Chain A
Amino acid sequence: MDLVLQLLFTGIGIGAVYALVALGFVLIFRATNVVNFAQGEFSMVAAYLMVVCVELGLPYWLSFVIALAGMALLGVIFNLGVYYPLRHRTYLPVIIATIGASILLSNSVLAIYGPQPQVLQGWFETPGIQLGPVYLDSQYLLIIGVTILLVLFNFWFFEKTLLGKKLQATSQDKEMASLLGISVSTMIMITFIYSAVLGGLAGILVAPVLFVSIQMGSTIALKAFAATIIGGFGDVAGAIVGGLALGVIETFGAAYISVPYKDGFAFLVLIAFLVFRPQGIFGERVAEKA
């Protein structure tokens, strides 16, 4: 039983990381109908920004604010440089452009910072607490807490605020939205900014656990992408549930069946969903967009 609890905690912790990145995928997909393959690199860039600020001797909270502001700026640049020029084309050139941007981002960081992984201290002085037989890593506790808060915030933002409703309207039907006087390009700009900040937040939160490296973004993004499909592409709740489920499944699969095939379990679940329920857990709501 102790073993199960310990595995459950780490499973949920790592699942929450996937969920955060998956959320960024979903938001951009809803707004633009393309998958942003540079979403993982957003996490990586934010983590490096954080490392740079902390190394400059800035306080942790200020570094955090600067890193997220930097991500907002990156969201603007990304929108103007990658999405906007291709917005009237089909989805394919846009997707390829995001892949290109992802290669550019990771190699730029490699050129500036070198290949050695970096260390980022966690938010808390204490590494964790022993609760009976289970060890709770403080950074994972923080990640889980932030994920819960973000779920609540997203619900409030998209369902209760005018801006959120405008964003939803844009994602459902751009022509109709612009007829109603909503500036579509502004809404898409806001979506990119929000996604970049979300991706950055995930990167900064996970950096103390997984270290800061060039590959950190792509490894998480791959799982987050799977989580998005499992949850139902285009669904916010689906991304969260998909991410958490994936984290728990791969942790238990590794512990009770096979460690080397840990990643395999995640992708087996993905394949099962693609075959038997391609619309994902919360799939129905995607249909209403059509």
Chain B
Amino acid sequence: MKLTRREFSAGLAAGLAAPALMRSAWAQGATIKIGMCVPVTGPAAEQGLWAQNGAKLALAAVNKAGGVLGKQVELVIEDDQTTNPGIVLAFSKLAAQSDIVAFLGSIRSTQVQAMAPDVIKVGKPVMIGGTNPDLTHSGNPWLFRFRPNDNYSGRVIADFGVNTLGKKKWAIVHSTDAFGTAGGKALTEALTKLGAPPVLDQGYANQSQDFTPVVLAVKQSGADVLGTYFTFENDLGIFARQLRQLGVNIPWVGSPSVVAVSSTKLAGPALFGTYGVADFAEDSSDTAKAFGKAYRDAYKTAPDNQSAWPYDAITILSAAINKAGSTDPTKIREAILATQKFAGAEGEYNFDKNGDGLHGYNVVKNDKGKIVYDKHIDFND
């Protein structure tokens, strides 16, 4: 037999490609794949790393316990560049791999909003951490939230200030972006329901270099308690310092940024004695404590909500696929929605029909620079 040059090249190509093809076919059956869109580059790259840490910690535990449907679970990570176009691209790359059974999306509401239309098209479950209530309330059946939404933060801030601190004259300060406006509105509504409508509702634009006019407005309103929704920690730090400098020392209950590690560091003593709502508090439950210990052992640093929600998401998703007994998207969806009284690092998960797993917040206090757990407030509706 005489081999032509063309036949020889074709044979060579097939010979070279065969092992690769075989490997991919083998891999398809050997593991269960979960896709994760996460910032590897861009301004939230550091938080992205924490999110991967949390997810990998849960993954190791799941695989050690025998995996999912008898197979090991594998995480496929794609960089969302901390931008909206970035996450759309990352998700489409992952969605093109047909053997990925479910996904982890973003902690940022705006990014989840950007990818949501593609999520409907793909029709597979996506776990998210964004807290804008609309995300799970606009008819998208494939989004499942692993953090409490912002309706609850407003209600918890109001409930804690009115019922625990006994304060009724509220000043609200919030940023004028989507997060701050929605938060301010939720807090105003919750306070009005409790019979304590705010005496001041003051918005500010992000990256303000000076908060003197805002502080003077709070001072003149005669409020005896302050509720805040700050988006950026540096804004919060400047505001806190100027607030104390101009002699305003009323109790303060704020959104999670008040008790964030970086705000505590930036503002120093100006934030001592303030309260904040936090979806993750290490001392809030035994599961949170266990997660905290495992995370510290593995990564030598303290965990926060950035790593807690992906941890819960992987744990609950794996359990749900096992319960569903298949990787069929609809069956996984039903199994996630059926998850009740599940103790996670972020709190007790009781999924509702919208796909919201958590319905309350922890209240924590800045005790001379140390964040300590105060109480957990949950709602049934």
Binding site for B on A (CB under 8 A): 3, 6-7, 10, 13-14, 17, 110, 114-117, 119, 127-128, 135, 137, 209-211, 213-215, 219-220, 251, 254-255, 259-263
Q: Which residues of A contact B265 (CB under 8 A)?
A: 119
Contact indicator A215/B213 (Cβ below 8 Å): no
- Inter-chain CA distance A128–B208, complex, in Å, is 21
- Inter-chain CA distance A91–B270, complex, in Å, is 47
Q: Which residues of A contact B210 (CB under 8 A)?
A: 10, 13-14, 251
> Distance (Å) between the CB of B351 and the closest chain A CB?
33
Of B45, B205, B245, B266, the residue contacting A263 (CB under 8 A) is B205
Interface footprint category on B:
20 to 34
Closest partner residue, chain B, to A261 (CB atom):
B205
Top 8 closest pairs, chain A to chain B, by CB: A255-B213, A254-B213, A10-B212, A260-B176, A260-B203, A117-B234, A115-B43, A211-B234
Contact indicator B43/A110 (Cβ below 8 Å): yes
Q: Which residues of B contact A116 (CB under 8 A)?
A: 46, 262
> Distance (Å) between the CB of A24 and the closest chain B CB?
18
* B76 on interface, CB distance cutoff 8 Å: no
> Distance (Å) between the CB of B273 and the closest chain A CB?
18
Contact indicator A117/B266 (Cβ below 8 Å): yes
Of B45, B209, B245, the residue contacting A14 (CB under 8 A) is B209
Q: A127-B245, A128-B245, A135-B245 known; 7 other A-B pairs, CB under 8 Å? A: A6-B216, A7-B212, A114-B45, A115-B43, A251-B213, A255-B213, A259-B217
- Inter-chain CA distance A254–B202, complex, in Å, is 11
Q: Which residues of A contact B204 (CB under 8 A)?
A: 259-260, 262
* B61 on interface, CB distance cutoff 8 Å: no
> Distance (Å) between the CB of A125 and the closest chain B CB?
14
Binding site for A on B (CB under 8 A): 43-46, 176, 202-205, 207-210, 212-214, 216-217, 233-234, 237-238, 241, 245-247, 262, 265-266, 268
A–B pairs, 16, beta carbons within 8 Å: A14-B209, A14-B210, A114-B45, A114-B46, A135-B246, A137-B245, A209-B238, A210-B209, A211-B237, A213-B234, A219-B209, A255-B212, A259-B214, A260-B203, A262-B213, A263-B208
Q: Which residues of B contact A127 (CB under 8 A)?
A: 241, 245
Contacts A137-B245, A260-B203, A262-B208 given: A115-B45 contact, CB under 8 Å?
A: yes
Q: Which residues of B contact A262 (CB under 8 A)?
A: 204-205, 208, 213
> Distance (Å) between the CB of A8 and the closest chain B CB?
10
Contact indicator A211/B266 (Cβ below 8 Å): yes
Q: Which residues of B contact A6 (CB under 8 A)?
A: 212, 216, 246
Q: Which residues of B contact A214 (CB under 8 A)?
A: 43
Contacts A14-B209, A254-B213 given: A117-B176 contact, CB under 8 Å?
A: no
- Inter-chain CA distance A115–B237, complex, in Å, is 16
Of A110, A210, A251, A259, the residue contacting B202 (CB under 8 A) is A259
Q: Which residues of A contact B43 (CB under 8 A)?
A: 110, 115, 214
Q: Which residues of A contact B202 (CB under 8 A)?
A: 259
Contact indicator B216/A255 (Cβ below 8 Å): yes
Most buried by B among A3, A114, A259: A259
- Inter-chain CA distance A220–B208, complex, in Å, is 10
Q: Which residues of B contact A13 (CB under 8 A)?
A: 210
- Inter-chain CA distance A47–B203, complex, in Å, is 29
> Distance (Å) between the CB of A216 and the closest chain B CB?
8
> Distance (Å) between the CB of B320 and the closest chain A CB?
34
Contact indicator B213/A7 (Cβ below 8 Å): yes
Closest partner residue, chain A, to B44 (CB atom):
A115
Q: Which residues of B contact A254 (CB under 8 A)?
A: 213-214
Closest partner residue, chain A, to B268 (CB atom):
A119
Q: Which residues of A contact B216 (CB under 8 A)?
A: 3, 6-7, 255
> Distance (Å) between the CB of A258 and the closest chain B CB?
9
Most buried by A among B46, B213, B216: B213
Q: Which residues of A contact B217 (CB under 8 A)?
A: 255, 259
Of A3, A110, A135, A259, the residue contacting B203 (CB under 8 A) is A259
> Distance (Å) between the CB of A246 and the closest chain B CB?
11
Most buried by A among B44, B45, B208, B245: B208
Of B46, B207, B209, B245, the residue contacting A115 (CB under 8 A) is B46
> Distance (Å) between the CB of A267 and the closest chain B CB?
12
- Inter-chain CA distance A128–B46, complex, in Å, is 35
Contact indicator A251/B266 (Cβ below 8 Å): no
- Inter-chain CA distance A137–B243, complex, in Å, is 12
